[in-house]
């Protein structure tokens, strides 16, 4: 699915940073894995909102991946507070994986 954003310029910086956040089991970053659904910037109140998912609900690594997303975005956008909503509607599917991600998984 296509990423939703209200700021296409800033989102490129966010996605570049999030390419360093990995699902530890799969070894692929959250962007190419297609876990990020939406990133919105609210500059007037220095807030950043992320809607993301996990490959499976109650993923044992879920908390860790979410916290990693928050910390990475806080470092990339100093002074911003980051809110992350983990949703399963729509649920993640293999179709979310990017071309680069598929290349990585195909070895």
Q: Is 106 in the site for another protein (CB under 8 A)?
A: yes
- CB of residue 70 vs another protein: minimum separation in angstroms? 7
Interface positions, 25-64, toward another protein (CB under 8 A):
25-27, 37-38, 51, 55-64
Contacts with another protein by CB under 8 A: the residue count is 43
- CB of residue 41 vs another protein: minimum separation in angstroms? 17
For the chain, how far is it from start to end, CA to CA, in angstroms? 23
User: What sign for the dihedral angle of Cα 66, 68, 25, 27?
Assistant: positive
Give CA–CA dist 76/60, Å, rounded. 26
Strands 28-29, 22-23: parallel, antiparallel or unpaired by DSSP? antiparallel
Interface contacts to another protein, rule CB under 8 A: 4, 20-22, 24-27, 37-38, 51, 55-72, 74-75, 85-90, 94, 97, 102, 105-107
């Amino acid at each position: 699915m296509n990423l939703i954003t209200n700021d296409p310029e800033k989102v490129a910086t966010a996605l570049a940073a999030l390419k360093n956040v990995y699902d530890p089991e799969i070894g692929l970053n959250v962007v190419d894995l297609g876990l990020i659904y939406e990133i919105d910037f609210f500059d007037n109140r220095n807030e950043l909102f992320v809607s993301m998912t996990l490959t499976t609900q109650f993923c044992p690594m879920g908390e860790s991946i979410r916290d990693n997303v928050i910390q990475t975005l806080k470092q990339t956008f100093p002074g911003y507070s980051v809110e992350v909503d983990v949703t399963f509607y729509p649920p993640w599917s293999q179709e979310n994986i990017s071309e680069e991600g598929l290349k990585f998984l195909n070895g």
